[in-house]
Amino acid sequence: MLYFAPIANVLFLGVIDPKPGFSNYAKIFESDTISNLILRTLKLCLITTFLAVTLGYIVSYAMVHTLSHIRRRMISILLISFWISVLVRSFAWLMLLGHNGLLNNTLIKLGIISEPLALMRNEFGVLIGMTEYMLPYAILPLLANMQGIDARISQASRSLGASSSQTFFNVFFPLTKPGIIAASLLVFISSLGFYVTPAILGGGKVQMIAEYISVQLLVTVRWGVAAMLATLMIVIVLLLIYVLNRFMKLSTIFGGASR
Amino acid sequence: MTPSFIGRLNQIVAWGILLIIVIPSLVSLPVSITNKTYLSFPWDGVSFQHFYNLFTSPEWISSFWQSSVIAVISSGLATSIGTLAAIGLWRLSGRIIEFIRAFLLLPLMVPPIISAMAFYRWWVPLGFIDTYIGIIMAHTILAIPMVIIAVSASLANFDLRLEQASRNLGASLATTIRRIILPVTRPGIITGAIFAFILSWDEIVVTIFISKFDVFTLPRRLWNGMRENTDPTVAAAAVVLIVTTLIFLIAFDFLSGRKDKETGPT
């Protein structure tokens, strides 16, 4: 209750502050700043989801098709980075992608570029940081799904004369669809709330909803707008969790994540 | 299946992606031993001056202690409350419990910024802003679901009749919990405690909102340092943060590995 009462209070504020009614919600359409903010957040989250799930699919596919001791090593690498603070990881990208960062310096030394590339303080940097952070979230449900597929199904398909690409696209891939959907939803839900990564790698230029909320609260003290955005986020998250729950029991995801 | 060309390629690409996941966790290490006074890689020489700065600076030291105190207390509280809640949920069942269980998991899925808003809103009138109590309570509340998940997982395999047998043979409820249920769920409790500790140790978003000057945790100081973006001491602090997390993960791995050996491969 200690948790839900304050949350409910925040949601309620969206309707009553500064004055009762839905004026805060009308801002979604009226204010360019806010509609741009929402669109930018959705766009970045969608791209992140796509990248993380695609790359995650490649990794989990390799994981199920390798020896079990190699798979264990791959999983432990994944879990270690999963538990390392988002702060530390964003900071690392800052050092890698920055103006005098490792990547730019190396490319200049190799003579590939003459001017440092703008790799951060823009959407590109934020996307890299977010995708990297989200990859374990994509891989764990995909892996759980792929490990549940009987390897003999693919073998049967091969022995009945299908080529390996036919086997993959007609047999294996359709079986992994629930995993793909679950992974996409999970990544999308988690990336909606990104605060640290855009703030550090975006350098204030790529604001997402979470960072905007914090500015509203700590700088301009407009609870109404912040609460409206928070409500919007919660509604989207709850809807997606509901859908997610139908594809994969939440507990299996967390069970997979905590091991 | 024999490893085909595409299979090999897939393995190589997968390791490449894993490398990209790992690099950010490692890059603080070289930067923290640079001999320059700005963020750079130690091409021209190695120095430990930034670690020296870190461990002699009163600000960093006090943040380190504050983070430790907060993490220890909040993970202790979260573990006790979460364990009791998990045992309670496990003994009861039915539709309402399913609902409560789903409800309890929500704090893990709700974006942290919204939790931060909520705590901020309520902690201000309560006078909890910028106090140990405020931060410990917030971290405890956030960590309880993790403990519940971990303990429930280890309770799932526990035969309810063992508890009934214990009660039948004359043990009181307290004795039963202490001598029968707790030993069985110990791996789950340890797991939950470790994860609760890491959560509090790394937590930043909520902490930004509810701390100001007096309570300044390690992640909070790191956050401020990063935004100023000049001093490699921040990298040294990041290394300390990573190493602590790693120690706890290794402890977890060790404990769960020992458990696997006891029960044998399943």
What was the pLDDT predicted at B75? 93
What are A120-168's pLDDT values in tens digits? 778 888 898 889 889 988 998 888 888 888 778 888 888 888 887 888 8
Minimum distance, in Å, between the CA of residue A29 and any CA atom of chain B? 22
pLDDT averaged per 10 residues in sequence order, chain B, 266 residues: 70 84 80 76 77 83 89 92 82 68 73 82 77 86 85 77 79 78 83 88 85 81 77 83 85 67 40
Chain A positions touching B241 (Cβ under 8 A) are 85, 87-88
Mutate to test the interface with B, among A9, A85, A102, A246 (most CBs of B within 10 A): A85
Instruction: Determine, yes or no, domain membership for B188.
Output: yes
Residue B74 pLDDT: 93
Determine whether the interchain pair B238/A88 forms a contact, defined as Cβ–Cβ distance below 8 Å: yes
What ipTM is given for this predicted complex? 0.77
Of A9, A78, A196, the CB nearest to B118: A9
Cα A152 → chain centroid: 33
What is the pTM assigned to this prediction?
0.80
The rounded distance, in Å, linking the Cα atoms of B219 and B242 is: 11
Does the beta-carbon distance from B205 to A196 stay under 8 Å?
yes
Name the residue of chain B whose CA is nearest to A59's CA: B14
Domain-located, residue B12:
no
Q: How many CA atoms lie within 13 A of A191 on its CB side?
A: 34
> Could you give the CA distance from residue A19 to residue B167 in angstroms, rounded to a whole number?
59
Question: In terms of CA atoms, which chain A residue is nearest residue B250?
Answer: A80
- What is the per-residue pLDDT for B70? 92
Min distance B197 CA to chain A CA atoms (Å): 11
pLDDT, average across residues A162-186: 84
Residues on chain A touching B121 (C-beta within 8 angstroms)? 6, 9-10, 13, 223
Quick check: A226 and B117 CB within 8 A?
Answer: yes
* Sequence-separated (6 or more) residues with CB below 8 Å from residue A29: A35
With 0-12 / 13-18 / 19 or more C-beta atoms within 10 angstroms meaning exposed / middle / buried, residue A219 is: exposed
pLDDT of residue A50: 93
Ordered DSSP codes for A190-235: HHHT--HHHHHHSTTSS--HHHHHHHHHHTS--HHHHHHHHHHHHH
**B184 in a structural domain:** yes
Q: What is the pLDDT of residue A28?
A: 61
Residue B20 placed within a domain:
no
Which of B117, B119, B130, B248 is best to mutate for the A interface (most A CBs within 10 A)?
Answer: B117
pLDDT of residue B266: 33
Q: Which residue of B has its CA nearest to A64?
A: B11
Chain-chain contact of B117 with A230 (C-beta, under 8 angstroms): yes
Range of the domain at B110: 49-259
Of the pLDDT bands very low, low, confident and very high (cuts 50, 70, 90), residue A254 is very low
pLDDT given for residue A255 in this prediction: 40
A10 closest CB neighbour out of B14, B117, B222: B117
Q: Is residue B229 part of a domain?
A: yes
A85·B208 Cβ contact <8 A: no
Q: What is the DSSP letter of A33?
A: H
Q: Do B121 and A65 touch (CB under 8 A)?
A: no
Of B122, B152, B242, the CB nearest to A6: B122
Q: Do B110 and A77 touch (CB under 8 A)?
A: no
- Residues A89 and B28: their CA atoms lie apart, in Å, by 9
| Contact (CB<8Å) B105/A254 | yes
For residue B247, give both structure tokens. Answer: 């120690």
Q: Is the pLDDT of residue A195 over 90?
A: no
The percentage of residues in chain A with a pLDDT greater than 90, rounded to a whole number, is: 6
- Distance between B17 CA and the closest CA of chain A, angstroms: 7
The CATH number of the domain holding residue B144 is 1.10.3720.10
CB contact under 8 A, B24 and A132: yes
Tokens of residue B264, six digits: 């044998």
Report the alpha-carbon distance of residue B149 to residue B147 in Å, rounded.
5
**Residue B83 resides in a domain:** yes
- Give B-chain residues touching A10 at CB under 8 angstroms: 114, 117-118, 121
Set out the domains of chain A in order of their start, with CATH numbers: 25-84+131-258 (1.10.3720.10)
- pLDDT in the model for residue A12: 56
Polymer length in residues for chain A: 259
Structural domains counted in chain B: 1
The answer to whether the Cβ–Cβ distance between B105 and A6 falls below 8 Å is no
Query: Hey, are the CB atoms on A241 and B109 less than 8 Å from each other?
Result: yes
pLDDT digits (tens, 9 = 90+) for A21-49: 555 666 666 667 778 888 888 999 999 99
Predicted local distance difference test score (pLDDT) of residue A10: 58
Q: Which residues of A touch B113 (CB under 8 A)?
A: 193, 195, 209-210, 213-214, 230
Answer yes or no: is B206 within a domain. yes
The answer to whether A62 contacts B116, with C-beta atoms less than 8 Å apart, is: no
Residue A9: per-residue pLDDT: 59
Is it the case that residue A224 has pLDDT exceeding 80? no
pLDDT in tens, A51-99: 999 999 988 988 888 888 888 888 888 888 888 888 888 888 888 887 7
Distance from CA of A187 to the nearest CA of B (A): 11
Which residues face B46 on adjacent strands?
B34
SS3 category, B46: strand
- B227 located within any domain: yes
Distances (CA, A) of B37 to A220, B1, B34, B40, B53: 36, 55, 8, 8, 11
**Nearest residue on chain B to A131, judged by CA atoms?**
B21
Q: Which residue has the higher pLDDT, A202 or B71?
A: B71
Q: How far is A130 from chain B (nearest CA, A)?
A: 11
What does the mean pLDDT of chain A come to?
78
